[in-house]
Structure 1
Amino acid sequence: MTTPIPRTPPPEGCIDTQVIDDQILLIGLNRPAKRNGWTPRMFRELAEAYTRLDDDPTLRVGVLHAFGEHFTAGLDLPLVVEHLQRGEPLTPYGLVEPHELGLPGYRRRQKPMIAAVQGICFTVGIELMLAADIAIAADNCRFSQMEVQRAILPAGGATLRMAERAGVGNAMLHLLTADQFDSAEALRCHFVQKVVPAAELLDSALTLARRIAAQAPQAVVATRLNVLKAIELGQAAAVADFGPVQRRLAASEDAAEGVRAFIEKRPARFTGR
Protein backbone atom coordinates (compact mmCIF):
# COMPACT_ATOMS: atom_id res chain seq x y z
CA MET A 1 0.00 0.00 0.00
CA THR A 2 1.30 3.46 -0.95
CA THR A 3 1.05 5.92 1.94
CA PRO A 4 2.52 9.36 1.19
CA ILE A 5 3.69 11.20 4.29
CA PRO A 6 2.63 14.88 4.23
CA ARG A 7 4.52 17.75 5.74
CA THR A 8 2.86 19.70 8.55
CA PRO A 9 0.78 22.25 6.64
CA PRO A 10 0.50 25.96 7.45
CA PRO A 11 -2.92 27.19 8.65
CA GLU A 12 -3.94 28.11 5.09
CA GLY A 13 -2.99 24.65 3.84
CA CYS A 14 -0.68 23.68 1.00
CA ILE A 15 -0.22 21.28 -1.88
CA ASP A 16 2.30 18.48 -1.37
CA THR A 17 3.93 16.71 -4.28
CA GLN A 18 5.84 13.45 -4.47
CA VAL A 19 7.33 11.64 -7.46
CA ILE A 20 6.57 7.92 -7.71
CA ASP A 21 8.52 5.54 -10.00
CA ASP A 22 10.36 8.57 -11.45
CA GLN A 23 7.35 9.17 -13.74
CA ILE A 24 4.20 9.79 -11.69
CA LEU A 25 3.54 13.05 -9.83
CA LEU A 26 1.39 12.64 -6.72
CA ILE A 27 -0.37 15.94 -5.97
CA GLY A 28 -1.85 16.01 -2.47
CA LEU A 29 -4.31 18.47 -0.92
CA ASN A 30 -2.90 19.10 2.54
CA ARG A 31 -5.23 20.88 4.96
CA PRO A 32 -6.93 17.95 6.67
CA ALA A 33 -7.75 19.83 9.88
CA LYS A 34 -10.15 21.96 7.79
CA ARG A 35 -11.35 19.09 5.59
CA ASN A 36 -9.03 20.45 2.89
CA GLY A 37 -11.08 23.63 2.55
CA TRP A 38 -9.64 25.63 -0.35
CA THR A 39 -7.62 28.79 0.21
CA PRO A 40 -5.90 31.17 -2.23
CA ARG A 41 -2.54 29.57 -1.41
CA MET A 42 -3.84 26.12 -2.27
CA PHE A 43 -5.18 27.31 -5.62
CA ARG A 44 -1.81 28.85 -6.48
CA GLU A 45 0.20 25.82 -5.42
CA LEU A 46 -2.13 23.43 -7.26
CA ALA A 47 -1.58 25.35 -10.50
CA GLU A 48 2.17 25.26 -9.86
CA ALA A 49 2.03 21.48 -9.40
CA TYR A 50 0.05 21.00 -12.63
CA THR A 51 2.56 23.21 -14.43
CA ARG A 52 5.43 21.15 -13.04
CA LEU A 53 3.80 17.99 -14.42
CA ASP A 54 3.68 19.43 -17.91
CA ASP A 55 7.13 21.05 -17.82
CA ASP A 56 9.15 18.12 -16.44
CA PRO A 57 9.93 15.76 -19.35
CA THR A 58 10.50 12.84 -16.96
CA LEU A 59 6.93 13.02 -15.61
CA ARG A 60 4.20 11.24 -17.58
CA VAL A 61 1.01 11.33 -15.49
CA GLY A 62 -0.37 13.07 -12.40
CA VAL A 63 -2.52 11.74 -9.56
CA LEU A 64 -4.58 14.24 -7.57
CA HIS A 65 -5.43 13.02 -4.07
CA ALA A 66 -5.97 14.37 -0.57
CA PHE A 67 -4.59 13.83 2.90
CA GLY A 68 -6.99 13.02 5.71
CA GLU A 69 -10.42 11.45 5.60
CA HIS A 70 -11.93 13.86 3.09
CA PHE A 71 -11.04 15.10 -0.37
CA THR A 72 -12.40 18.60 0.25
CA ALA A 73 -15.34 20.36 1.85
CA GLY A 74 -15.06 23.03 -0.86
CA LEU A 75 -14.09 26.67 -0.72
CA ASP A 76 -13.12 28.25 2.59
CA LEU A 77 -15.51 31.10 1.85
CA PRO A 78 -14.29 33.65 4.42
CA LEU A 79 -10.81 33.41 2.87
CA VAL A 80 -11.84 33.56 -0.80
CA VAL A 81 -15.05 35.62 -0.82
CA GLU A 82 -13.25 38.92 -1.42
CA HIS A 83 -11.55 37.44 -4.48
CA LEU A 84 -14.94 36.27 -5.77
CA GLN A 85 -16.58 39.64 -5.15
CA ARG A 86 -13.81 41.49 -6.99
CA GLY A 87 -13.62 38.92 -9.76
CA GLU A 88 -9.95 38.32 -9.03
CA PRO A 89 -8.39 35.08 -10.27
CA LEU A 90 -7.36 32.60 -7.61
CA THR A 91 -4.88 31.03 -10.02
CA PRO A 92 -1.95 33.17 -11.26
CA TYR A 93 -1.87 33.81 -14.99
CA GLY A 94 0.66 31.95 -17.09
CA LEU A 95 0.31 28.63 -15.25
CA VAL A 96 -1.64 25.50 -16.15
CA GLU A 97 -5.22 26.10 -14.95
CA PRO A 98 -6.38 22.94 -13.11
CA HIS A 99 -10.06 23.32 -14.00
CA GLU A 100 -9.09 22.90 -17.67
CA LEU A 101 -11.50 25.54 -18.96
CA GLY A 102 -9.31 27.09 -21.65
CA LEU A 103 -9.47 30.53 -20.07
CA PRO A 104 -7.40 33.35 -21.62
CA GLY A 105 -4.04 33.86 -19.94
CA TYR A 106 -3.67 30.26 -18.82
CA ARG A 107 -2.00 27.19 -20.25
CA ARG A 108 -3.91 24.01 -21.07
CA ARG A 109 -2.71 20.82 -19.42
CA GLN A 110 -1.04 18.40 -21.83
CA LYS A 111 -0.41 15.31 -19.71
CA PRO A 112 -3.04 13.02 -18.20
CA MET A 113 -4.43 13.46 -14.69
CA ILE A 114 -6.17 10.92 -12.46
CA ALA A 115 -8.29 12.14 -9.55
CA ALA A 116 -8.69 9.91 -6.47
CA VAL A 117 -11.42 11.20 -4.15
CA GLN A 118 -12.67 10.05 -0.77
CA GLY A 119 -15.04 11.11 1.98
CA ILE A 120 -16.56 14.55 1.51
CA CYS A 121 -16.06 15.86 -2.01
CA PHE A 122 -17.98 19.11 -2.40
CA THR A 123 -18.12 21.92 -4.98
CA VAL A 124 -14.58 22.68 -6.20
CA GLY A 125 -13.63 19.08 -5.43
CA ILE A 126 -16.20 17.75 -7.88
CA GLU A 127 -15.10 20.29 -10.49
CA LEU A 128 -11.43 19.32 -10.19
CA MET A 129 -12.45 15.66 -10.35
CA LEU A 130 -14.45 16.29 -13.53
CA ALA A 131 -11.54 18.23 -15.02
CA ALA A 132 -9.26 15.22 -14.58
CA ASP A 133 -9.11 12.60 -17.31
CA ILE A 134 -10.06 9.65 -15.09
CA ALA A 135 -11.72 9.75 -11.67
CA ILE A 136 -11.73 7.02 -9.03
CA ALA A 137 -13.96 7.34 -5.98
CA ALA A 138 -13.76 5.58 -2.65
CA ASP A 139 -16.95 3.83 -1.61
CA ASN A 140 -17.39 6.28 1.27
CA CYS A 141 -17.78 9.46 -0.79
CA ARG A 142 -20.38 12.15 -0.23
CA PHE A 143 -20.72 14.56 -3.12
CA SER A 144 -22.55 17.89 -3.32
CA GLN A 145 -22.45 20.77 -5.79
CA MET A 146 -23.97 23.19 -3.31
CA GLU A 147 -23.11 26.62 -4.73
CA VAL A 148 -26.79 27.57 -5.10
CA GLN A 149 -27.05 27.34 -1.30
CA ARG A 150 -24.46 30.11 -1.06
CA ALA A 151 -25.68 32.32 -3.93
CA ILE A 152 -22.62 31.38 -5.99
CA LEU A 153 -22.34 30.13 -9.56
CA PRO A 154 -20.48 26.80 -9.92
CA ALA A 155 -17.99 28.38 -12.30
CA GLY A 156 -15.27 25.72 -12.14
CA GLY A 157 -16.79 23.55 -14.84
CA ALA A 158 -19.68 21.72 -13.13
CA THR A 159 -22.34 23.33 -15.33
CA LEU A 160 -20.45 22.12 -18.40
CA ARG A 161 -19.24 18.69 -17.46
CA MET A 162 -22.13 17.37 -15.39
CA ALA A 163 -24.47 17.79 -18.36
CA GLU A 164 -21.83 16.42 -20.74
CA ARG A 165 -21.35 13.27 -18.65
CA ALA A 166 -24.84 12.65 -17.25
CA GLY A 167 -27.31 14.51 -19.47
CA VAL A 168 -29.15 17.72 -18.72
CA GLY A 169 -31.74 16.20 -16.41
CA ASN A 170 -29.22 14.51 -14.12
CA ALA A 171 -27.06 17.63 -14.11
CA MET A 172 -30.00 19.83 -13.10
CA LEU A 173 -31.01 17.34 -10.44
CA HIS A 174 -27.73 17.80 -8.59
CA LEU A 175 -26.87 21.40 -9.55
CA LEU A 176 -30.23 22.98 -8.69
CA THR A 177 -31.07 21.02 -5.53
CA ALA A 178 -27.58 21.09 -3.94
CA ASP A 179 -28.35 17.57 -2.72
CA GLN A 180 -25.82 15.10 -1.40
CA PHE A 181 -25.23 11.90 -3.35
CA ASP A 182 -22.98 8.88 -2.94
CA SER A 183 -20.34 7.10 -4.99
CA ALA A 184 -22.87 4.80 -6.64
CA GLU A 185 -24.79 7.80 -7.97
CA ALA A 186 -21.56 9.43 -9.14
CA LEU A 187 -20.78 6.25 -11.05
CA ARG A 188 -24.30 6.12 -12.53
CA CYS A 189 -23.88 9.69 -13.74
CA HIS A 190 -20.42 8.94 -15.18
CA PHE A 191 -18.84 11.57 -12.93
CA VAL A 192 -16.38 8.85 -11.84
CA GLN A 193 -15.13 5.81 -13.73
CA LYS A 194 -14.49 3.42 -10.84
CA VAL A 195 -15.58 2.95 -7.22
CA VAL A 196 -13.20 1.07 -4.92
CA PRO A 197 -12.92 0.40 -1.17
CA ALA A 198 -11.50 3.44 0.61
CA ALA A 199 -8.42 1.53 1.75
CA GLU A 200 -7.56 0.71 -1.87
CA LEU A 201 -8.13 4.17 -3.36
CA LEU A 202 -4.61 5.50 -3.86
CA ASP A 203 -3.17 2.15 -4.89
CA SER A 204 -5.95 1.77 -7.47
CA ALA A 205 -5.15 5.22 -8.84
CA LEU A 206 -1.45 4.41 -9.00
CA THR A 207 -2.14 1.13 -10.80
CA LEU A 208 -3.90 3.11 -13.53
CA ALA A 209 -1.17 5.76 -13.54
CA ARG A 210 1.49 3.09 -14.04
CA ARG A 211 -0.45 1.61 -16.95
CA ILE A 212 -0.60 5.05 -18.59
CA ALA A 213 3.05 5.81 -17.82
CA ALA A 214 4.08 2.60 -19.59
CA GLN A 215 2.59 3.77 -22.89
CA ALA A 216 4.29 6.00 -25.48
CA PRO A 217 4.17 9.49 -23.91
CA GLN A 218 3.72 11.48 -27.13
CA ALA A 219 0.89 9.19 -28.22
CA VAL A 220 -0.80 9.51 -24.80
CA VAL A 221 -0.71 13.31 -25.00
CA ALA A 222 -1.86 13.37 -28.62
CA THR A 223 -4.74 10.96 -27.92
CA ARG A 224 -5.88 12.96 -24.90
CA LEU A 225 -5.80 16.25 -26.80
CA ASN A 226 -7.69 14.77 -29.75
CA VAL A 227 -10.51 13.62 -27.48
CA LEU A 228 -10.75 17.10 -25.95
CA LYS A 229 -10.69 18.76 -29.37
CA ALA A 230 -13.63 16.60 -30.47
CA ILE A 231 -15.58 17.58 -27.34
CA GLU A 232 -14.78 21.28 -27.50
CA LEU A 233 -14.55 22.00 -31.26
CA GLY A 234 -16.41 19.10 -32.84
CA GLN A 235 -15.67 15.92 -34.75
CA ALA A 236 -14.41 17.58 -37.92
CA ALA A 237 -11.72 19.52 -36.04
CA ALA A 238 -10.49 16.34 -34.34
CA VAL A 239 -10.50 14.35 -37.59
CA ALA A 240 -8.47 17.08 -39.30
CA ASP A 241 -5.63 16.31 -36.89
CA PHE A 242 -5.50 12.60 -37.66
CA GLY A 243 -3.13 12.84 -40.64
CA PRO A 244 -0.56 15.38 -39.40
CA VAL A 245 -0.44 14.03 -35.84
CA GLN A 246 -0.13 10.45 -37.06
CA ARG A 247 2.77 11.40 -39.35
CA ARG A 248 4.55 13.17 -36.50
CA LEU A 249 4.13 10.22 -34.15
CA ALA A 250 5.16 7.69 -36.81
CA ALA A 251 8.47 9.53 -37.27
CA SER A 252 9.34 9.38 -33.55
CA GLU A 253 11.91 7.13 -31.89
CA ASP A 254 9.13 5.66 -29.78
CA ALA A 255 7.25 4.51 -32.89
CA ALA A 256 10.35 2.63 -34.03
CA GLU A 257 10.69 1.12 -30.55
CA GLY A 258 7.03 0.05 -30.69
CA VAL A 259 7.66 -1.84 -33.93
CA ARG A 260 10.80 -3.50 -32.50
CA ALA A 261 8.94 -4.53 -29.35
CA PHE A 262 6.15 -6.03 -31.48
CA ILE A 263 8.61 -8.04 -33.57
CA GLU A 264 10.62 -9.15 -30.55
CA LYS A 265 7.48 -9.95 -28.52
CA ARG A 266 8.51 -7.88 -25.50
CA PRO A 267 7.22 -4.81 -23.65
CA ALA A 268 8.22 -1.56 -25.31
CA ARG A 269 10.64 0.77 -23.54
CA PHE A 270 9.47 4.25 -24.47
CA THR A 271 11.58 7.36 -23.91
CA GLY A 272 9.19 10.10 -25.05
CA ARG A 273 11.34 10.92 -28.09
Structure 2
Amino acid sequence: MRTDFQHVLINFEAGVLTIIMNRPTVLNAFNELMIQEMTEVVEAAAQDETIRCVILTGAGRAFGAGQDLSAFAGEPSANDSEAAQEHLAAYHRLINSILQLPQPIIAAIHGVATGISLNIALACDLRIAADNARLSEAFARIGLVPDGGGAYFLTRLLGAGKALELALLAEEISGTEAARIGLVTSSVPQSGLEETVRALALRLAHGPTRTYGLIKKLFQEAQDKDLAAVLQLEGKYQSMAIETADHREGVQAFMQKRPPKYSGK
Protein backbone atom coordinates (compact mmCIF):
# COMPACT_ATOMS: atom_id res chain seq x y z
CA MET A 1 0.00 0.00 0.00
CA ARG A 2 1.41 3.38 -0.96
CA THR A 3 1.61 6.15 1.62
CA ASP A 4 2.19 9.30 -0.44
CA PHE A 5 -1.35 10.66 -0.21
CA GLN A 6 -2.17 14.35 -0.13
CA HIS A 7 -5.27 14.27 2.09
CA VAL A 8 -5.00 10.93 3.90
CA LEU A 9 -2.50 9.79 6.51
CA ILE A 10 -2.05 6.12 7.32
CA ASN A 11 -0.29 4.33 10.15
CA PHE A 12 0.14 0.58 10.53
CA GLU A 13 1.17 -0.95 13.84
CA ALA A 14 0.49 -4.28 15.57
CA GLY A 15 -2.00 -5.38 12.94
CA VAL A 16 -4.03 -2.15 13.16
CA LEU A 17 -4.27 0.24 10.21
CA THR A 18 -5.24 3.80 11.17
CA ILE A 19 -6.68 5.94 8.37
CA ILE A 20 -6.70 9.66 9.12
CA MET A 21 -8.67 12.09 6.97
CA ASN A 22 -6.22 14.96 6.68
CA ARG A 23 -7.66 18.34 5.68
CA PRO A 24 -7.65 19.88 9.16
CA THR A 25 -7.86 23.51 8.00
CA VAL A 26 -11.38 22.78 6.65
CA LEU A 27 -12.28 20.28 9.40
CA ASN A 28 -11.54 17.39 7.03
CA ALA A 29 -14.32 18.33 4.60
CA PHE A 30 -14.28 16.06 1.56
CA ASN A 31 -13.03 17.14 -1.83
CA GLU A 32 -12.77 14.85 -4.85
CA LEU A 33 -9.17 13.90 -4.17
CA MET A 34 -9.80 12.89 -0.57
CA ILE A 35 -12.70 10.67 -1.68
CA GLN A 36 -10.40 8.98 -4.21
CA GLU A 37 -7.54 8.55 -1.75
CA MET A 38 -9.82 7.18 0.98
CA THR A 39 -11.31 4.66 -1.41
CA GLU A 40 -7.88 3.55 -2.58
CA VAL A 41 -6.69 2.98 0.98
CA VAL A 42 -9.79 1.03 2.05
CA GLU A 43 -9.77 -1.14 -1.07
CA ALA A 44 -6.06 -1.88 -0.59
CA ALA A 45 -6.63 -2.73 3.08
CA ALA A 46 -9.25 -5.29 2.09
CA GLN A 47 -6.58 -7.21 0.16
CA ASP A 48 -3.93 -7.13 2.91
CA GLU A 49 -4.10 -10.07 5.31
CA THR A 50 -1.56 -8.47 7.65
CA ILE A 51 -4.19 -5.84 8.52
CA ARG A 52 -6.41 -7.27 11.27
CA CYS A 53 -8.41 -4.16 12.21
CA VAL A 54 -8.91 -0.63 10.83
CA ILE A 55 -9.47 2.69 12.62
CA LEU A 56 -10.94 5.67 10.78
CA THR A 57 -10.58 9.14 12.24
CA GLY A 58 -9.87 12.77 11.37
CA ALA A 59 -6.87 15.04 11.87
CA GLY A 60 -7.03 18.11 14.07
CA ARG A 61 -10.23 19.33 15.71
CA ALA A 62 -12.81 17.23 13.87
CA PHE A 63 -13.77 13.87 12.48
CA GLY A 64 -15.21 15.55 9.39
CA ALA A 65 -17.36 18.48 8.30
CA GLY A 66 -19.02 16.70 5.37
CA GLN A 67 -18.64 17.81 1.78
CA ASP A 68 -16.46 20.81 1.00
CA LEU A 69 -19.16 23.09 -0.42
CA SER A 70 -16.69 25.47 -2.04
CA ALA A 71 -16.66 23.13 -5.03
CA PHE A 72 -20.38 23.81 -5.56
CA ALA A 73 -20.44 27.56 -4.96
CA GLY A 74 -20.69 28.62 -8.61
CA GLU A 75 -23.74 29.46 -10.68
CA PRO A 76 -26.15 26.59 -11.46
CA SER A 77 -25.71 24.93 -14.86
CA ALA A 78 -27.63 22.51 -17.04
CA ASN A 79 -25.15 19.76 -16.16
CA ASP A 80 -25.55 20.02 -12.38
CA SER A 81 -27.77 16.93 -12.07
CA GLU A 82 -25.41 14.75 -14.09
CA ALA A 83 -22.39 16.05 -12.16
CA ALA A 84 -24.17 15.34 -8.87
CA GLN A 85 -24.75 11.72 -9.89
CA GLU A 86 -21.08 11.27 -10.77
CA HIS A 87 -20.11 12.86 -7.47
CA LEU A 88 -22.41 10.56 -5.52
CA ALA A 89 -21.09 7.52 -7.38
CA ALA A 90 -17.64 8.24 -5.94
CA TYR A 91 -19.09 8.35 -2.41
CA HIS A 92 -21.07 5.18 -3.05
CA ARG A 93 -17.90 3.35 -4.03
CA LEU A 94 -16.26 4.48 -0.78
CA ILE A 95 -19.28 3.47 1.33
CA ASN A 96 -19.43 0.05 -0.31
CA SER A 97 -15.69 -0.49 0.15
CA ILE A 98 -16.10 0.17 3.89
CA LEU A 99 -19.11 -2.15 4.14
CA GLN A 100 -17.31 -4.92 2.26
CA LEU A 101 -14.07 -4.61 4.23
CA PRO A 102 -13.38 -8.09 5.65
CA GLN A 103 -11.67 -6.65 8.73
CA PRO A 104 -13.51 -4.85 11.54
CA ILE A 105 -13.44 -1.06 11.16
CA ILE A 106 -13.90 1.41 14.00
CA ALA A 107 -14.77 5.10 13.58
CA ALA A 108 -13.15 7.30 16.24
CA ILE A 109 -15.33 10.43 16.30
CA HIS A 110 -14.24 13.72 17.82
CA GLY A 111 -15.36 17.29 17.18
CA VAL A 112 -17.72 17.75 14.26
CA ALA A 113 -19.07 14.73 12.36
CA THR A 114 -21.66 16.03 9.97
CA GLY A 115 -23.30 15.18 6.66
CA ILE A 116 -21.44 12.67 4.51
CA SER A 117 -18.67 12.40 7.13
CA LEU A 118 -21.21 11.15 9.67
CA ASN A 119 -22.69 8.68 7.19
CA ILE A 120 -19.24 7.30 6.43
CA ALA A 121 -18.83 6.73 10.18
CA LEU A 122 -22.21 4.98 10.21
CA ALA A 123 -20.90 2.57 7.55
CA CYS A 124 -18.22 1.44 9.99
CA ASP A 125 -18.79 -1.58 12.23
CA LEU A 126 -18.25 0.22 15.53
CA ARG A 127 -18.32 3.92 16.40
CA ILE A 128 -16.70 5.40 19.50
CA ALA A 129 -17.45 9.08 20.04
CA ALA A 130 -15.95 11.65 22.36
CA ASP A 131 -18.59 12.89 24.78
CA ASN A 132 -18.33 16.42 23.35
CA ALA A 133 -18.43 15.35 19.68
CA ARG A 134 -21.12 17.06 17.58
CA LEU A 135 -22.96 14.76 15.17
CA SER A 136 -25.50 15.96 12.62
CA GLU A 137 -27.38 14.88 9.51
CA ALA A 138 -26.96 18.41 8.21
CA PHE A 139 -28.22 17.94 4.64
CA ALA A 140 -31.62 19.62 5.13
CA ARG A 141 -29.86 22.82 6.22
CA ILE A 142 -28.74 23.31 2.63
CA GLY A 143 -31.81 21.86 0.95
CA LEU A 144 -30.48 18.36 0.27
CA VAL A 145 -31.53 14.85 1.20
CA PRO A 146 -29.13 12.65 3.21
CA ASP A 147 -26.76 10.80 0.90
CA GLY A 148 -23.97 8.30 1.40
CA GLY A 149 -26.44 5.73 2.70
CA GLY A 150 -27.78 7.97 5.46
CA ALA A 151 -31.38 6.77 5.17
CA TYR A 152 -30.21 3.14 5.11
CA PHE A 153 -27.96 3.36 8.16
CA LEU A 154 -30.11 5.67 10.28
CA THR A 155 -33.31 3.65 9.96
CA ARG A 156 -31.53 0.41 10.81
CA LEU A 157 -29.71 1.85 13.80
CA LEU A 158 -32.50 4.02 15.21
CA GLY A 159 -35.82 3.00 13.65
CA ALA A 160 -37.79 5.04 11.14
CA GLY A 161 -39.19 7.64 13.54
CA LYS A 162 -35.94 8.77 15.16
CA ALA A 163 -34.07 8.55 11.86
CA LEU A 164 -36.57 10.87 10.19
CA GLU A 165 -36.36 13.29 13.12
CA LEU A 166 -32.58 13.59 12.77
CA ALA A 167 -32.85 14.05 8.99
CA LEU A 168 -35.64 16.64 9.07
CA LEU A 169 -34.43 18.77 11.98
CA ALA A 170 -30.72 18.42 11.14
CA GLU A 171 -29.82 19.31 14.71
CA GLU A 172 -26.48 18.54 16.35
CA ILE A 173 -26.38 15.92 19.07
CA SER A 174 -23.50 15.25 21.43
CA GLY A 175 -21.48 12.07 21.54
CA THR A 176 -23.17 11.26 24.85
CA GLU A 177 -26.65 11.60 23.33
CA ALA A 178 -25.57 9.65 20.24
CA ALA A 179 -24.58 6.75 22.49
CA ARG A 180 -27.86 6.97 24.44
CA ILE A 181 -29.99 6.60 21.30
CA GLY A 182 -27.74 3.96 19.71
CA LEU A 183 -26.24 6.02 16.90
CA VAL A 184 -22.74 5.22 18.19
CA THR A 185 -21.46 2.21 20.09
CA SER A 186 -20.28 4.18 23.10
CA SER A 187 -19.17 7.61 24.23
CA VAL A 188 -16.04 8.36 26.25
CA PRO A 189 -14.35 11.53 27.51
CA GLN A 190 -12.41 13.35 24.80
CA SER A 191 -9.17 12.76 26.70
CA GLY A 192 -9.66 8.99 26.61
CA LEU A 193 -10.90 8.56 23.04
CA GLU A 194 -7.63 7.58 21.40
CA GLU A 195 -6.68 5.12 24.17
CA THR A 196 -10.15 3.52 24.20
CA VAL A 197 -10.27 3.07 20.43
CA ARG A 198 -6.73 1.73 20.31
CA ALA A 199 -7.45 -0.86 23.00
CA LEU A 200 -10.59 -1.97 21.18
CA ALA A 201 -8.74 -2.20 17.87
CA LEU A 202 -5.97 -4.31 19.39
CA ARG A 203 -8.56 -6.62 20.95
CA LEU A 204 -10.15 -7.15 17.53
CA ALA A 205 -6.76 -7.45 15.82
CA HIS A 206 -5.93 -10.38 18.09
CA GLY A 207 -9.24 -12.07 17.37
CA PRO A 208 -10.40 -14.49 14.63
CA THR A 209 -10.27 -11.98 11.79
CA ARG A 210 -11.62 -14.22 9.05
CA THR A 211 -14.59 -15.17 11.22
CA TYR A 212 -15.24 -11.48 11.90
CA GLY A 213 -15.53 -11.00 8.15
CA LEU A 214 -18.06 -13.83 7.92
CA ILE A 215 -20.04 -12.39 10.83
CA LYS A 216 -20.17 -9.04 9.03
CA LYS A 217 -21.45 -10.67 5.84
CA LEU A 218 -24.09 -12.67 7.74
CA PHE A 219 -25.46 -9.63 9.56
CA GLN A 220 -25.46 -7.43 6.47
CA GLU A 221 -27.30 -10.01 4.38
CA ALA A 222 -29.73 -10.86 7.19
CA GLN A 223 -31.20 -7.36 7.43
CA ASP A 224 -33.77 -7.79 4.68
CA LYS A 225 -34.36 -11.55 4.99
CA ASP A 226 -36.98 -13.64 6.81
CA LEU A 227 -36.00 -16.24 9.40
CA ALA A 228 -35.88 -19.15 6.97
CA ALA A 229 -33.47 -17.28 4.71
CA VAL A 230 -31.30 -16.19 7.65
CA LEU A 231 -31.06 -19.80 8.87
CA GLN A 232 -29.79 -20.77 5.43
CA LEU A 233 -27.27 -17.96 5.49
CA GLU A 234 -25.95 -18.89 8.90
CA GLY A 235 -25.48 -22.47 7.70
CA LYS A 236 -23.50 -21.20 4.73
CA TYR A 237 -21.20 -18.99 6.77
CA GLN A 238 -20.87 -21.44 9.67
CA SER A 239 -19.64 -24.05 7.20
CA MET A 240 -16.97 -21.58 6.13
CA ALA A 241 -16.05 -20.60 9.69
CA ILE A 242 -15.63 -24.17 10.84
CA GLU A 243 -12.92 -24.66 8.22
CA THR A 244 -10.75 -21.82 9.55
CA ALA A 245 -7.53 -22.31 11.48
CA ASP A 246 -8.85 -19.87 14.08
CA HIS A 247 -11.84 -22.10 14.82
CA ARG A 248 -9.51 -25.05 15.40
CA GLU A 249 -7.27 -22.90 17.59
CA GLY A 250 -10.25 -21.64 19.57
CA VAL A 251 -11.47 -25.17 20.32
CA GLN A 252 -7.98 -26.36 21.26
CA ALA A 253 -7.43 -23.37 23.54
CA PHE A 254 -10.78 -24.01 25.24
CA MET A 255 -9.97 -27.68 25.82
CA GLN A 256 -6.47 -26.83 27.08
CA LYS A 257 -7.79 -24.02 29.29
CA ARG A 258 -5.49 -21.39 27.79
CA PRO A 259 -5.99 -18.11 25.90
CA PRO A 260 -6.32 -18.64 22.14
CA LYS A 261 -3.69 -17.35 19.75
CA TYR A 262 -5.57 -16.44 16.60
CA SER A 263 -3.78 -16.00 13.27
CA GLY A 264 -6.62 -14.49 11.26
CA LYS A 265 -6.67 -17.52 8.97
Distance 1:258 1:46, change over 3 A: same
3-state SS of paired residue (2:129): strand
How far apart are the structure 1 equivalents of 2:126 and 2:103?
A: 12
Q: Determine whether 1:155 maps to 2:151.
A: no
Q: Quick one: higher RCO (CA 8 Å, sep 6+), 1 or 2?
A: 2
Shift of 1:232: 3.8
Residue of structure 2 aligned with 1:210, choices 202, 208, 213: 202
For 1:189, the equivalent position in structure 2 comes to 181
Residue of structure 2 aligned with 1:19, choices 7, 12, 19: 12
Q: Determine whether 1:120 maps to 2:112.
A: yes
* One-letter code aligned to 1:16: L
How far apart are the structure 2 equivalents of 1:234 and 1:130?
A: 24
Shift of 1:79: 2.2
Q: Determine whether 1:97 maps to 2:93.
A: yes
* One-letter code aligned to 2:165: L
3-state SS of paired residue (1:229): helix
For 1:3, the equivalent position in structure 2 comes to none
For 1:88, the equivalent position in structure 2 comes to 86
Task: Percent identity, please.
Answer: 28
C-alpha distance after superposition, 1:223-267 (max 9, x if no partner): 111111111444433321222322232233222222221222222
How far apart are the structure 2 equivalents of 1:8 and 1:252?
A: 35
3-state SS of paired residue (1:109): coil
3-state SS of paired residue (1:220): helix
Shift of 1:83: 7.6
* One-letter code aligned to 1:109: L
3-state SS of paired residue (2:20): strand
Q: Which runs of 5+ in 1 are unaligned?
A: 1-6
Q: Normalised by the size of structure 1, how large is the TM-score?
A: 0.85
Count of matched residue pairs:
257
Shift of 1:91: 6.1
* One-letter code aligned to 1:196: V
Q: Normalised by the size of structure 2, how large is the TM-score?
A: 0.88
For 1:256, the equivalent position in structure 2 comes to 248
C-alpha distance after superposition, 1:93-121 (max 9, x if no partner): 9xx9332399xxxx832221100101111
The alignment's C-alpha RMSD in Å is: 2.6
3-state SS of paired residue (1:136): strand
Distance 1:89 1:56, change over 3 A: same
Kept in 1, the 8 Å contact 2:39–2:97? The answer is no
How far apart are the structure 2 equivalents of 1:18 and 1:83?
A: 37
Q: Determine whether 1:168 maps to 2:164.
A: no
Distance 1:167 1:252, change over 3 A: closer
Q: Please list every run of at least 4 consecutive aligned residues from structure 1 whose deviation after the TM superposition is greater than 6 angstroms.
A: 81-84
Kept in 1, the 8 Å contact 2:132–2:176? The answer is no
For 1:111, the equivalent position in structure 2 comes to 103
Q: Which runs of 5+ in 2 are unaligned?
A: 74-78
The answer to which of 113-122 and 212-221 deviates more is 212-221
For 2:172, the equivalent position in structure 1 comes to 180
